[in-house]
Amino acid sequence: MNLVLTGSTSGIGWETLLALLPQFEKVYLPVRNLTKAETLIQRLPQKEKIGLIYLDLSMLASVKQGAAELLQQVDEIHVLINNAGGMYPAGKRSTEGLDLSFSSNHLGHFLLFQELLPALIKGQAKIIQVSSEAHRIAGPPERDFSLRKSSNTVSSYAKVKLYNILFTNEIKNKYASEGLIAYALHPGAVRTAFGLEAPPWAKGIIAFTKHFFISPMAGASTTIFLATTLKANLKNGGYYKNKKLSSTSTLARDSKLGKALWEFSLEEIERVLKNTVGIKN
């Protein structure tokens, strides 16, 4: 069994790695900071099972290159966990000109899925998206899927967490017949480094409310549950909270919106990559 896990070097991603490493033959970690990742895994007892790949989810060219490198090492993936993400100031851009919340939380993972699709289908994979209850406060994108017009940090974050669920639903709709299973989840309010790049006012709120947050280990529990539970005991396209099936917002169940997001994401990837001449590691 082969696992691919993003956002593995801190917080719930790290706890997810620790819990799942003994249960998989190989674990592939796409990471933005190879030096940090190499240092961290040196202390793990089964570090020989880990493969590190440089990949920056905020840069589509990097995602494409990293996915190609990954496919040189593995041709069958059984679980893909899209865990990486964060809250970024509204209007902050990636080096490719994309809104950082949009690229890091949605579009990078969307492209990673597309590039790994042959290996995912061969492995009859589970695709697990770490979303959030914040999706409930998201308003309709209003033809601004890429958040270019957004000036509100919390609103942008809520929308990309909504996108995680819409993406999950579309994987189910498009690929269930080919054996793919997809889930989204809310990890809980977790005491991690989340929000480090948020604006000062948001950092203040996060710092205050962290007194009521759960540990990263507890926050990883639903991800671990979905990765290790038999498919027959889970609902394809389901949204899980506290290891139980939960409901989503009405907007998250909008199939037309899900299809529109999918098509926009494909078009945006084509547009950005067409203008990219290369990347630097």
Report the pLDDT averaged over residues 96-113.
Answer: 96
Q: Does residue 113 carry a pLDDT above 60? A: yes
Cα separation, 85 vs 67, whole angstroms = 18
Q: Phi then psi for 237, rounded to 5 degrees? A: 85, 5
Cα separation, 19 vs 34, whole angstroms = 21
* pLDDT for the residue numbered 142: 81
Percent of the chain's residues with pLDDT above 70: 89
* pLDDT for the residue numbered 208: 39
Inter-residue contact 54 to 271 (CB < 8 Å)? no
Give which of 108, 105, 115, 116 is closest to 163, Cα–Cα.
105
* pLDDT for the residue numbered 181: 98
Report the pLDDT averaged over residues 14-42.
Answer: 96
* pLDDT for the residue numbered 216: 75
* pLDDT for the residue numbered 205: 46
Structure tokens at 4: 């691919």
User: Residue 143 contacts by C-beta under 8 Å, 6 or more apart in sequence?
Assistant: none
Report the pLDDT averaged over residues 2-18.
Answer: 95
Mean pLDDT for all residues in the chain: 90
Report the pLDDT averaged over residues 126-134.
Answer: 96
Tell me which DSSP letter residue 230 carries. -
* pLDDT for the residue numbered 90: 85
Cα separation, 60 vs 96, whole angstroms = 8
213-259: pLDDT as tens digits: 677 788 899 999 999 999 999 999 999 999 999 999 999 999 999 99
Q: What's the farthest any 2 CA atoms get from each other in the chain?
A: 49
Tell me which DSSP letter residue 29 carries. E
Cα separation, 54 vs 279, whole angstroms = 12
Distances from the Cα of 181 to the Cα of 19, 146, 171, 172, 272, angstroms: 21, 26, 8, 6, 29
Give which of 128, 61, 124 is closest to 95, Cα–Cα.
61
Distances from the Cα of 244 to the Cα of 26, 220, 232, angstroms: 28, 14, 14
User: Residue 173 contacts by C-beta under 8 Å, 6 or more apart in sequence?
Assistant: 237, 255, 258
67-80: pLDDT as tens digits: 999 999 999 999 99
Cα separation, 19 vs 16, whole angstroms = 5
Q: Does residue 278 carry a pLDDT above 90? A: no
* Record: fold of 2-274: Rossmann fold (3.40.50)
* pLDDT for the residue numbered 277: 55
Cα separation, 174 vs 206, whole angstroms = 37
Cα separation, 82 vs 63, whole angstroms = 13
The residue extents of the domains of the chain are: 2-274
* pLDDT for the residue numbered 275: 82
Q: What is the DSSP string of 53-68?
A: EE--TT-HHHHHHHHH
Give which of 44, 40, 47 is closest to 7, Cα–Cα.
40
* pLDDT for the residue numbered 206: 45
154-183: pLDDT as tens digits: 999 999 999 999 999 999 999 999 999 999
Q: Does residue 198 carry a pLDDT above 60? A: no
Q: Where are the alpha helices (DSSP H) in 21-138?
A: 34-41, 60-73, 100-102, 108-122
Q: Does residue 32 carry a pLDDT above 60? A: yes
